[in-house]
Chains A and B, each alone.
Chain A
Amino acid sequence: MSFAELIPPPSRHPVLRFFDLAAFACMVVAGLQLVTLISIFGWLVFGRYVLNDTPTWVEQLALLLVVWITFLGAAAGVWTRAHLSVDFIREALPPPIRRLLYWLAVIGMIIFGACLAWQGWGLASGTWARRIPMLGIAEGWRAVPMVICGVLTVLFSCCHLVALMRGQDPAEVC
C-alpha cells in the first residue's frame, strides 16, 4: 500500500467527502507536528551537549505538541474507525440487542464528544490568562485540540447516527 491510498478518494457523497477531508487534514497537521517534535528534540540534545546552552522551551513545546497530535489523531481515528474496541460480545448477541447496542455506542460517542468540546472550551478559556512557563504563550492553547476533537467526534458520530436511522450499517457507509 502506498501513501496515496491513504488519501481519501473523491468518489463519495459531498458530506462524506467533507468529513473524509476533515479527518485527513487532522492527520496531516498531526504528522507535521510529529516531525516537528522529533526535530526539536534533536535540537535540544545538540544545544545542551554541543553548545552547552540548553534551549529551555523544548520540553514545554514538546508537551504541547503531543497533546495536539493525540487529539487530532484521535478525531481522525473516530472517522477511520482506527480506535481499539471490544466488539466480539456485541456481535455474539441476538440481532435486536445488537441493534440497540449500536445505538448506545453512537449516542455514547456523541455525549462524550460533546463533553470534550464543552469542557475543552471551558479549560481553554479558563486558563487563557495563564502563560505556559518557558514558552510565554497562553496555557489555553493546550486545551484547544480537545475542542476540535470533541466537535469532530460529534459530527462524525452524527453521521453514523444518520446511517443507523436509515437502517444502514454505519461501518459501511461512513
Chain B
Amino acid sequence: MGLSILFGLFALGLISGMPVAFALGLATVGGFLYEGLPLFIGFQRILSGISVFSLLAIPFFIFAGELMMQGGIATRLVRLASSAVGSMRGGLGVVNVASSMLFGGISGSAVADTSALGSILMPVMKEKGYDPDYAVNVTVTSSVAGVVIPPSHNMILYAVAAGGVSVSNLFIAGIIPGILMCLCLGAVAYVVAVKRGYPAETFPGWGALLRSFLIAIPGLMTAVIIVGGVLSGVMTVTESGAFGAIYAIVVTTLVYRELTWDGFRRAVYVSVRTTALVMLLVATASGFAYLLAIYRVPELLAGAVTMVSENPIIILLMLNAILLVLGMIMDMAALILICTPIFLPVAQSLGMDPIQFGVILMMNLGLGLCTPPVGACLFVGCVVGGVKMEHAVKTIWPFYLAILVALLLVTYVPAFSMFLPGLLQGG
C-alpha cells in the first residue's frame, strides 16, 4: 500500500507536468506522511544526498564543457576531425561522429555535445547538401558517446548511487564501449550517406591535417591534464574536474583568445543552471531512495525477476528492455538515481560486475536521450537543426540500431568494459 502511494504520487506528479525532481520530492513527502515517519528525515536525506564529495565533480565537468564550447575548443576539434576523415563519402557525417568522440572525451555532457557540435556542424552539413534530418540524427545519436567516454558526470551519478563504485575504474571502463559505439555509428553514418549520395570533402593534404592537429593540441590537452593529473598522483578524479575547468579558462583566454567576459559569464550561468537541475534530482531522489530501502524494493524486485527466469541471458535482456522503455519516457539523471539501487542488485546476483552494469546503464539510458517522447539530446538537436521531431525520428532507426548493437555486445561480452580496468588493477 505504502509503495503504491509512493509510486502513484510520483506518477501523478509526472503526468501533471511537474518537474521530475519536484515530483520525486512530493512523492517522498507523501510516503513519509503515510508511513508516519518524521518528515524531517526525508528532508535530511534530500540535504545529505547532495553533500557527497564525489558529486563535486559534476559542476566541474559541466563548467569545463561550457567553457570549451564558449572558448572555441569545440570548433578546433571539429576542424581536426574534418581534415582527418572528411574525405570519405558522406564525410561530414563521419566527421560528426569523430568530433563527438573527441569532444565527448573532454566534456562530460551529451547535451552540451549536441548543442556545441550541432551548432557548428549542422549549418555546414545543410550547406553541402545533406538533408536536415540526417544531420540531426547523426549529431544526436553520436553525442551519446559523451556519456560513455570519460569523463562523464552521469557516470559519477551512477558511482554515487551504486554506493562506492570507483569513479576512475568506471571512467576507464567506458573507453572501449564508447569507441565501439562510435565505430557502429560511424559505419551507419557512412552507409546511409552513400545511399543518399552525399558528397565527399576534398582531402586537405597532410600538411593541413598536421596544422589542424597542432592547433587542436591545447584543447586536446584538457583530456591529458585530467588523465595525467590523476595518474601522476597530483590530484584525485574529483579535483581533476576543477583543474579541467581552470585549464579550459586558461587555454581559451590566453591561447585561443576566444573566451570573452560575456562568454565566461554565460558559461557560469548555464553551468549553474545545469548543475542545479541535476543536483536537485540527486537530492529528491535520495529521499525517494530512503523509502525504497524501507520497503525493501530492491530485494523484492530481485526475487521477482529470478522467478520469471533463471537464465542470465534472458534476465539481462529484460533489464535492457525495461531500461530502454524507461529511458524513452524519463530523463537520464533521474533514472540513474532511481534505477541503480533497484536494478544493480539483480545484475550483481547474476555475477555481473557493478562497473560493467554501470557502462550498460549509461549506453541504455544514453539511447533514451535520443528517443521521443522525452529525449534531451533529441530536443536540443531538433531545435538547433531547425527540424521537427516527427520528421527527424522517421529516419533515425539505423542509428538506434547501431547503438543497440554496441549495447548488446557490451552486455554479453564483459571484456569490452572490464578489460581496461582489469589491466590497470593487475598492473
Contact = CB atoms under 8 A, between A and B. Distances in A.
B275 A34 contact: yes
B16 interface: yes
Contacts of B280: 70-71, 73-74, 77, 83
A116 B63 contact: no
Contacts of B26: 108, 111-112
Interface string A44-71: 1100010000000001001100110111
A119 B43 contact: yes
B43 A72 contact: no
A115 B269 contact: no
B47 A108 contact: no
Contacts of B18: 85, 105, 108-109
A109 B43 CA distance: 16
B264 to A, nearest CB: 9
A63 B48 CA distance: 10
Interface in B4-48: 12-23, 25-26, 29, 39-40, 42-44, 46-47
A72 to B, nearest CB: 7
Contacts of A71: 276, 280
B194 to A, nearest CB: 35
Which of B17, B20, B39, B280 is most buried by chain A, counting CB atoms within 10 A of its CB? B17
Contacts of A119: 39-40, 42-43
Q: Which of A59, A89, A101 lies at the interface centre, i.e. has the most chain B CB atoms within 10 A of its CB? A: A89
Contacts of B334: 84
Interface stretch (B51-59, B145-153, B172-180, B204-212): B51-59
A88 B373 contact: yes
A100 to B, nearest CB: 8
A161 interface: no
A30 B46 CA distance: 19
Contact of B242 (A27, A38, A112, A146): A38
Contacts of B281: 84
Nearest to A73: B276
Interface residues of B, number: 61
> From DSSP, what is the main secondary structure of chain B's interface residues?
helix
A76 B16 contact: no
B235 A45 contact: yes
A63 B262 contact: no
B374 A30 contact: no
Interface in A122-172: 122-123, 126, 142-143, 146, 153
Most B CB within 10 A of own CB, among A6, A71, A115, A126:
A115
Contacts of A38: 60, 63, 242, 245-246
B43 A120 contact: yes
B279 interface: yes
A59 B234 CA distance: 16
Contacts of A108: 13, 16, 18, 22-23, 26
Nearest to A142: B47
B262 A74 contact: no
Interface range, A side: 35 or more
Contacts of B271: 34
Q: Give the interface centre of A4, A30, A77, A86 by most chain B CB atoms within 10 Å.
A: A86
B241 to A, nearest CB: 8
A78 B374 CA distance: 19
Given A2-B262, A142-B47, A146-B43, A86 B14 contact: yes
A3 B374 contact: no
Given A3-B262, A31-B265, A84-B376, A90 B20 contact: no
A102 interface: yes
B56 A63 contact: yes
A49 B234 CA distance: 6
A66 B55 contact: yes
Given A3-B265, A111-B29, A42 B246 contact: yes
B20 A86 contact: yes
A118 to B, nearest CB: 8
Contact of B374 (A86, A101, A109, A153): A86
Contacts of A73: 272-273, 275-277, 279-280
30 contacts: A2-B266, A27-B272, A34-B63, A37-B242, A38-B63, A38-B245, A41-B242, A41-B243, A49-B234, A62-B53, A63-B53, A66-B51, A69-B59, A70-B275, A70-B279, A73-B280, A76-B276, A77-B19, A80-B273, A82-B277, A83-B19, A86-B330, A88-B374, A90-B15, A101-B15, A101-B16, A102-B16, A115-B29, A142-B47, A146-B47
Interface of A: 1-4, 6, 27, 30-31, 34-35, 37-38, 41-42, 44-45, 49, 59, 62-63, 66-67, 69-74, 76-78, 80, 82-90, 101-102, 104-105, 108-109, 111-112, 115-116, 119-120, 122-123, 126, 142-143, 146, 153
In the A-B complex, list the 6 residue pairs whose CB atoms are closest, starting with the nearest: A73-B276, A83-B19, A41-B242, A119-B43, A70-B279, A105-B16
Given A83-B22, A105-B16, 20 more contacts: A2-B266, A31-B269, A37-B242, A42-B243, A45-B235, A62-B53, A66-B56, A73-B277, A73-B279, A84-B19, A84-B281, A84-B376, A85-B14, A86-B330, A90-B16, A105-B17, A109-B22, A119-B43, A122-B40, A123-B43
